[in-house]
Amino acid sequence: MRGLYDGLEEISFKPVAGGYVFQTSNRWLIGARRRYFVNELQKTEIAARIRETLRRIRPFALATAVLMPLVLIAAITWFMARGATLVVTEVDAAGVTTTHDQPLGKDGATGVLMYANGARVVYAVSGPPSGDATIKVSGFDQAGKAGAPCVVKFDSGGSKIVMNDDDGHLVRTVTLMGRTGATRDAVMWFSMLLASALFAPFVVLIHVYSMARLRPLLAGLPRSDQRITLRDSTERMAAKASNKFLAMVGVGAAMGLVGNAMTLILSIHDHRPIDVAAVAGTAALVLLVAYYGYIAFLKVRLRQSAI
């Protein structure tokens, strides 16, 4: 039975006249890839070294695949329980609802609610809901003249601000509610930054170790101007990569896509501002899922043509 990484070493080679082009990452990780012309013997040696390296790092990779999600879940759960959030829900005269979150720390939170004519209402929440917490609401006319402020208690039931125009017609109703835990945007950014902080050292260490093991075999090899295109790599991956590897990466990308999509759907449903990072992440995962879906399609076609 084929192992998880079996066949991956062949993806970096492309048959050409008189031998093969071997393409590897830049030694500094970021930058143009390096390509070498190798003969059959050199290809065999390099491929064997790559297979051996993959076997050596596999226990470390599997342990990381288990430990990293556990660390992420524990850290995100801890972060979500910290602090408090002010949930601001606005309902206009037509019944359209818009919701957004604000961090609600020990120093409280403030916000501005605008009228179409330039007048505004400013609210200041003293802190998380409690018997001592208050909301101070101040109105300002178009010229910026302040009216008499209103101070009410801010407990678990929240508070409501009713905004009327000069004729007494309802403009919108604003409900302020407090809840335990960080805002959704804060949790999302914390999750992305923590995942990057955990994943980046893993990638760098694997790259440094892999390049160090390849370096003696690449010393003195002639460089090649021929490229291994994305199409070449895709076809080689479909032909050589194991089903286990394709399934693992494809399922992981699909799970990430589902998570991001649910976040976007909830934001749209609650009329919350949509974060650009969430949209970019979802788009990237869509492309990744489509890419590995295409590889799976090619793999099926190759298997059928071989029958």
Averaged in consecutive runs of 10 residues, what is the pLDDT profile of the chain (307 residues)? Answer: 69 92 88 92 94 89 84 89 90 90 88 92 92 91 90 90 90 92 84 88 92 94 90 88 82 81 75 72 88 90 80
- pTM for this one? 0.68
Residue 106: phi and psi, rounded to 5, are -65, -20
Rounded Cα–Cα distance for residues 273 and 86 (Å): 15
> Chain-centre distance of CA 42, in angstroms?
40
DSSP string, 187-207: HHHHHHHHHHHHHHHHHHHHH
148-178 pLDDT, tens digit each: 899 999 988 889 999 998 888 999 999 999 9
Contact 170, 160 (CB under 8 A): no
Confidence (pLDDT) at 273: 67
CA distance 70 to 203: 18
pLDDT of residue 53: 92
CB atoms within 10 A of CB 182: 21
pLDDT at 138: 94
C-alpha R_g of the chain = 29
Task: Look at residue 39 in the predicted model and tell me its pLDDT.
Answer: 95
At 64 the pLDDT is 84
Phi and psi at residue 223, in whole multiples of 5°? -80, 155
Spatial contact of 234 and 249, defined as CB atoms under 8 Å apart: no
Tens digits of residue pLDDT in 74-123: 998 898 888 899 999 999 999 989 888 899 988 899 999 999 889 999 99
CB neighbour class for 11 (10 Å; exposed up to 12, middle 13-18, buried from 19): buried
